[in-house]
Structure formats: structure tokens, C-alpha cells
Amino acid sequence: MKRDFLAETDFTTDEMNRVFELCRQMKQGEITPKPLLGKTVGCIFHKASLRTRISFEVGVSELGGTSLYITEKEIELGKRESIYDAAKVLSRYLAMITIRTFAHSDVEQLAKHADIPVINALTDLLHPCQILGDAFTIIEKKKKLDGLKIVYLGDGNNITNSFINLARRFPIHFVVGTNPGTMPDAELLKLAQAEKVGRVEVIFDPKEAVRNADVVYTDVWASMGQKHLAEEKAALLKDFQVNDNLMKLAKPDCLVMHCLPALRNAEITDSVIDGPNSVVFDQAENRLHIQKAIMLVLMDDKRLKN
């Protein structure tokens, strides 16, 4: 049966560890698999993208395949024809689909009706490829993930929700430092807190949130599709800016992370994003390797070294 990757929880902990190991092997050049030889992957993007689109297209090419960049303009998914019809037709041409759009339910519907694997390249709800890449970066730098205090400061958005899902698979201590008016998804939060795999907390005081952190992560205060709320969000979140004063409360070797693109000197200061603890460009690089690993696991490629 075909597999999709729409949410972190589509993979078991063992499968995620396999993704991390494949990612490491490809990054080190220990393996150079080409399972996509002669195949085409469709990359449907309804929102702007630098990292995700380019790392997917480069990744498909490195796995031996061809990528096809498809914007809303060409296919008008769900408007010109139903998502069902589009899913059936695309499945006759392509080996796999990656899709970035607004409603998570559109991606679920596409995956349900497609006969080929579908990968979530970001929705309003989740950004699972980003979070797997970030978890890999943390493991690279800290040599572990379990037990770390990972603090996310700012808007409760798709990145926050994806970290909450990561805490449903790994025993991390995930702290969301945010304003009561910018909370992450209530349902995912409830699930993670009930499952108790990792410990997930929401703290409204940025100083208390960041104390002794192993990782401090932030993202733009207004995500794509929400730019009209930028001023309102900035007013609610100004105390959650990642700056030198706040970073003094974290551990001295605390990693500073941001998925990028950043609005410099809004959610994070230049001094911190360009400072010695920042790993933002390693995160960006790892998107390439992790997405190749995700594609391999979805294709269940048995030729790979374990």
C-alpha cells in the first residue's frame, strides 16, 4: 500500500530514526541511491517557497528523477476540477507529489484519492519536512534529541504544531512561549499532553520559558496567508523577540534555530541569528538531505544500507 507523509505522526519513532540515519548516510556521501531514475515528481506550490521548493527539486534530481514545478495558476486544484479527479489523473503521470498549500484538509483529500505517495510541503496546520530536518540538525549538533528542552518562542503556527507532533514521537521537553492570543492548535496540544510521550508546556512568560533551554527556536510572527495580521501579532508577541538579553537565560551552548525566512529584528535580532549559537543555515541545508530520506522511506527502497 502506498504511504504518505502529511504529518509527523504518519511515521513511527522507528521510521523517523530510519529517516535520520538515511539522511546522515546521504549527507556523508556513504550512499547515493537513484530510485527515481526515469520517474517524475510533481511539486505543487500554492505559496511562495525558497528552501522547500528548491531542496525538493534538487533532491529529486539527486535521486535520479525529474521534478515538475506546478503552481496554482496551471491546475487550479479544487477549482477547475475536483481534487478527486486531479488526484486520479496526476497518479497516472507522476511517481510522487509534494504539495504546499493553505488548508491541510486539501492535502489530506489529495492523498486519500492519489494512488502515489503525497508529501506535505507545508500547510497552515503543519510543516513536517521542516521539523524532521530540524530534529536531524539537533541530533547532529547535540548528539541526541531525547530529554532536550526545546523552546519555541512566538506565534503558535504550523512550526509550533509540528514540534508538538514531534513530542508525540520522542521524549523531548517542548515549551511554547507565546501569548494567550497566539496559541498553537488546541487539539494537537491536547493529544500530545494526554499521550505523555514528550512533555509539552505552554508558558506565557518568555523569560520563564527560555530558562535552561537546550534549543531556542522562533519563526515569523505572521505566516503566509496571515500577513494582514502582522501588526496585531507583532503587538501581542513583542516580548517574545529572541534577543541577547533573553538568550542569557538559556544554556550557554543553546542552539538558536529559525526555519527561515526571517523578519530580522522583529522575531529575532541580527545579533542572535548571526551569533555563534545560530544553526539556521545548517537547518536550511539539511532540508535537502532529509527530504531525500523521506522520499526513500515512502518508496520503501530495500536496496539501501541499514
Beta pairing class for 149-153 and 215-218: parallel
Note whether 157 binds ligand NVA by CB under 6 A: yes
Q: Which amino acid is at 189?
A: L
Q: Which residues bind ligand CP (CB under 6 A)?
A: 49-53, 122, 130, 259-261
The binder of ligand NVA chosen from 218, 223, 241, 286 (CB under 6 A): 223
**Residue 51 or 289 having the CB closest to ligand CP:** 51
Q: Which amino acid is at 119?
A: I
Is residue 291 within 8 A of residue 283, CB to CB? The reply is no
Shortest separation between residue 105's beta carbon and ligand CP, angstroms: 20
Compute how many other C-beta atoms are within 10 angstroms of the C-beta atom of residue 24: 16
Closest to 137 in 3D by CA, of 126, 149, 145 = 145
Note whether 259 binds ligand NVA by CB under 6 A: yes
**Exposure on the CB side of residue 270, measured as CA atoms within 13 A:** 0
Residue 223 near which of ligand NVA, ligand CP, none (CB within 5-8 Å, type-dependent): ligand NVA
Residue 219 near which of ligand CP, ligand NVA, none (CB within 5-8 Å, type-dependent): ligand NVA
Q: What is the dihedral of CA 236, 206, 285, 63, to 10 degrees?
A: -80
Residue 68 near which of ligand NVA, ligand CP, none (CB within 5-8 Å, type-dependent): none
Residue 188 near which of ligand CP, ligand NVA, none (CB within 5-8 Å, type-dependent): none
**Residues that bind ligand NVA in the complex, under the rule CB under 6 A:** 122, 127, 157-159, 219-220, 223-224, 259
